[in-house]
């Protein structure tokens, strides 16, 4: 690729049937701003700010496709009652010139049954350390119901004014747990070989495409590896990405890593805020977090573009648009992603620190994110996700 061929990350770009004002996507980060599993003014403001701050698209997370697919009781699940609030949110984002995407999925074994009061479902029966209960094995009827629910959720997204949906195939949520040979011990058509373990993600993507056609863009967040021994790994991810491309159901894939169930820090890199996590827990979990938390929340050093090396292997294997996530903090990193052949970049923590980061970079290309990767934003998911270094109420 010559310099002349490298796209300008700040120029408009096509994503399936839509055009974004630039190639920068605010990645999905659970907002903890949906009391009663409905949109709040805080949630609208959470997404309005990066939209006003210059991103091409902001991603609402997390919109479960079924009530038991929530990680906790106050998460949105896609239904008619949620549409008016979601429409207010998309209207607010559109008024700032950005597009809006809904991340839809099913938490599967990551769901907290103690919070939702509904059974957590996975490929096979196992213990869930998040909810301190057993995950039940999904029946074939459960799998079919959840697959079809993704299509219904995508239709609600269209009705709510979203420009795109992002299918959650990562972090050992329901679809991702089926991909993982460590979690999926089934012996039927959804277990065993990679082709069987990938059946659910392929069927789900097809179902969503059939549900909405070309009305909105369809992305998928796909794990490159789970970050645990015996889990889903890069060589398998390459093949799954190729199958998804062949199926033609998606407009782009956003590449990710890690397991919310087994190794959550593998995705984030940087500091591990054990003290802050413990402060949000009730006893005896609080004491346990202080004593043995470092064995569950492992520390990984941060570096810019930390997923690039693995993502290159997916990039070499498929021609479809890819979104690079992980350590995108400045114009230089964005330009590197473009030069490496990625069509879009996604940012999360950097936009919590500076919702107007993209406008700042447009005004001064040498500007770097103020995010220090302390990860103290992570424990705030229990009370309202935010950067603890930002003054509350600040507007871009």
Q: How far apart are CA 310 and CA 255, in angstroms?
A: 9
User: Among 46, 173, 190, 266, which one carries the catalytic annotation?
Assistant: 173
> How are beta strands 18-20 and 13-15 bridged, if at all?
antiparallel
Q: Is residue 156 annotated as part of the catalytic site, yes or no? A: no
Indicate which residues carry an active-site annotation. Answer: 173
């Amino acid at each position: 690729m010559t310099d002349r061929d490298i796209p300008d990350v700040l120029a408009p770009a096509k994503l399936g049937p839509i055009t974004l004002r630039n190639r920068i996507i605010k990645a999905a980060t659970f907002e903890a701003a949906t009391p009663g599993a409905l949109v709040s003014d805080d949630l609208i403001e959470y997404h309005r700010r990066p939209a006003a701050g210059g991103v091409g698209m902001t991603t609402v997370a997390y919109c479960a496709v079924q009530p038991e697919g929530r990680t906790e009781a106050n998460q949105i699940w896609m239904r008619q009652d949620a549409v008016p609030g979601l429409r207010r949110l998309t209207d607010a984002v559109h008024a700032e010139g950005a597009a809006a995407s809904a991340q839809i999925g099913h938490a599967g074994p990551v769901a907290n049954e103690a919070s939702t009061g509904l059974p957590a479902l996975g490929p096979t029966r196992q213990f869930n350390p998040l909810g301190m209960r057993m995950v039940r094995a999904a029946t074939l009827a459960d799998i079919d119901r959840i697959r079809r629910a993704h299509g219904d959720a995508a239709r609600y997204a269209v009705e709510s004014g979203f420009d795109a949906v992002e299918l959650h195939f990562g972090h050992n949520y329901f679809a991702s747990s089926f991909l993982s040979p460590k979690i999926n011990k089934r012996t039927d058509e959804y277990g065993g070989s990679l082709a069987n373990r990938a059946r659910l993600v392929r069927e789900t993507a097809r179902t969503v495409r059939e549900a909405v056609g070309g009305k909105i863009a369809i992305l998928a967040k796909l794990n490159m590896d789970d970050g645990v021994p015996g889990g889903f790994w890069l060589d398998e991810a390459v093949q799954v990405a190729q199958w998804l491309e062949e199926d033609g159901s998606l407009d782009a894939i956003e590449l990710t890593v890690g397991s919310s169930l087994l190794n959550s820090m593998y995705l984030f890199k940087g500091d591990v805020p054990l003290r802050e996590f413990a402060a949000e827990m009730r006893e005896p979990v609080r004491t346990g977090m202080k004593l043995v938390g470092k064995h569950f929340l492992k520390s990984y050093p941060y570096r810019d573009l930390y997923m690039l090396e693995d993502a290159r292997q997916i990039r070499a294997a498929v021609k479809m648009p890819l979104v690079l996530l992980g350590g995108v903090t400045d114009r230089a990193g964005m330009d590197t992603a473009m030069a490496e052949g990625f069509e879009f970049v996604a940012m999360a923590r950097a936009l919590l620190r500076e919702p107007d980061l993209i406008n700042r970079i447009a005004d001064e290309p040498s500007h770097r994110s103020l995010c220090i990767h302390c990860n103290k934003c992570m424990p705030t998911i229990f009370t309202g996700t935010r950067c603890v270094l930002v003054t509350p109420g600040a507007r871009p």
